[in-house]
Structure 1
């Protein structure tokens, strides 16, 4: 019997890759561009990539909805990056809501910063307000 696969969107070329479950903890590489799928740094999303990353990733994906004018968002940015480095098999991504309003609108973000956890294209949890990295890590680990 073959092992189950998970779809993972490449942060570099946006190709959707089918990755065997046993390879999700390894240094999985994109079949199209050969770069690492899990980079341990947040991906910068835009209007064209946000839906694909959210809808196609079957692994836990944490999206930080933020704005350039939001002081708590700016304070949390390095904390989010630190948390991403501590959870390399989780996809961390960011979308700037003041730049990509239309792309962020379907997610009903009411306060900033807001982190939303997605898996298999569905929202599984959300957390509003700036958090230090250790609390972000705890929150993400509680979702696994």
Structure 2
């Protein structure tokens, strides 16, 4: 029997159970029927952050950023490109620290952009500063 993984839908936040072997095979949400992976980072809020961190069995790479931050704006397309390369083995997400200051405070975000990698509800690694897509992919793969 193949191993199943829990994957939180980026559209409706429903938790889906997917056979590990089918992760990259166009898996869709059982509730909203949208694709579970679109190769794009998803926006997390104070409301759904915990669900995605705690209920996803795949690692979650979070970009803590702010709209006024120049390096954050420069890194956004690089992060999007990295999502296309890392999914479905790693989910990429963004947290706007202006819209969710509680999350920035909870995780002690002192500079932005900051990447934080989570697995099983725990933070595994953190990297501050803007990075290119290749560096994001390399750093993430080196941590998981």
Q: Structure 1: which 4+ aligned runs deviate by more than 2 Å?
A: none
1:1-144 mapped onto 2 (5 Å cutoff): 2-89=1-88, 90-144=90-144
CA offsets per residue over residues 77-130 of structure 1, 9 Å max, x none?
Answer: 111011111122121100100111013322111111001111111111111100
Structure 2: unaligned runs, 5 residues or longer: none
Moved more, 103-112 or 70-79: 103-112
Q: Normalising by structure 1, report the TM-score.
A: 0.93
RMSD over aligned CA atoms reads 1.2
Native 8 Å contact 1:58 1:121 kept in 2: no
What is the count of residue pairs matched by the alignment?
Answer: 143
1:51-93 deviation line (CA, Å, top 9, x unaligned): 1111111101100000111111111111101111112212110
Q: Secondary structure at the match of 2:117?
A: strand
Unaligned residue ranges in structure 1 (runs of 5+): none
CA distance in 1, matches of 2:120, 2:58: 7
